[in-house]
Structure 1
């Protein structure tokens, strides 16, 4: 009936229910307490919906989700556990030198890849050769330069002297590739959780948990 509402239909229905409940509460004083509970319940449902489906409504709500840790990364014993994000991917909060980045885990990527901005801010030196590396990506062929990350760290995991490729063509996306995953003792996906176990667990720093 209202095709233009699309994914926001449940939100409009909740708001309509809120208005109806308020009107009933004003006309029937004996139901004010019950109506107040209903209103708070509807408001709570709206908040949950907005945070859960924030990409459909407002990109700024991702900041709220970050504060609520809906995309959670935690250390359990020697393991680092990453909860699947709403986009269906796993994202790691890693520190490269003094720079923190949210990095996409991609087992289909042979090598770890950094955006040009991340490489510059982290002080990653690239090999300036007249013949750049040519990579095949989902968006076609792109040119990239080779480099090395002195240290990449998150949770109990530390990778040193990690080879990377750097290119402006990656936009603002940084990717963890198989050359990183293959260094781990094990990695697996259980349900909606990625579990990473290092060979040599390191003490957890407060800003890399």
Structure 2
């Protein structure tokens, strides 16, 4: 019976975790499903005949208390899932460079890195690319190597646009990215450029993405992007 009840609790927890964004399971409100699951577990426990003898009363009460705590923990964990998710995101944002800290309002904040710049982990056409935020760049600029990693084919591009980089003057090729995602803020059809091989050490998140946002600001060594 222990394993049956534990299986029921674990299954319910999994269903709630994977369906919480939908708000319902099998057409029922997800909060109602959680409550029914907990109550059903208790009823099954009581129906199993745990109170058949007075001698087992104390042990049964202890075991019942354990199931009550498990049920309470399940409901409590579900109730605070959004806060827990935000807390984990904040910790990850502080520890992992470029990860970003998401808020309930949809904004995302990046702390200034040790070199004085803002680094972000962007997704270019669905592929993860580390980028340096550069408000002086008129466009998103990918290094030749990052363009290859993002699934692009820079070999077929025409490098005819003069650009200035930290390494001096070079030429880049223009193209249109299907999507750029930074900290969950997704924008489609973003104009970009690809630098020649070896010309750019880090890809740049420039204004062709930033100007598509609601707003962006820098305060107290924090870069905040508003969708």
Scaled to the shorter chain, the TM-score interval is 0.5 to 0.7
Q: Which residue of 114, 137, 142 maps to 1:86?
A: 114
Q: Give the greater-gyration-radius structure (CA).
A: 2
Q: Which runs of 4+ in 1 moved over 6 A?
A: none
Q: Which of the residues 196, 214, 219 maps onto 1:185?
A: 214
User: Are 1:161 and 2:192 counterparts?
Assistant: no
What is the aligned partner in structure 2 of residue 196 from structure 1? 225
In structure 1, stretches of 5+ residues that fail to align are 1-64, 199-209
Number of equivalenced pairs: 134
Deviations 1:34-85 (A, max 9, x none): xxxxxxxxxxxxxxxxxxxxxxxxxxxxxxx999436651111210100110
CA pair 194-136 structure 1, distance change in 2 beyond 3 A: same
**What is aligned with 2:200?**
171
TM-score w.r.t. structure 2 length? 0.53
Gaps of 5+ in 2: 1-91
- Aligned Cα RMSD in Å? 2.6
Conserved in 2, the CA contact under 8 Å of 1:126 and 1:148?
no
Between 1 and 2, higher relative CO (CA 8 Å, sep ≥ 6) is seen in 1
Matched, 1:123 2:165: no
Alpha-carbon distance between aligned partners in 1 of 2:143 and 2:132, rounded to the nearest angstrom: 12
* CA–CA separation in structure 2 for the residues paired with 1:183 and 1:155: 14
Instruction: State the alpha-carbon separation in 1 of the partners of residues 192 and 97 from structure 2.
Output: 29
Query: TM-score, normalised on structure 1?
Result: 0.57
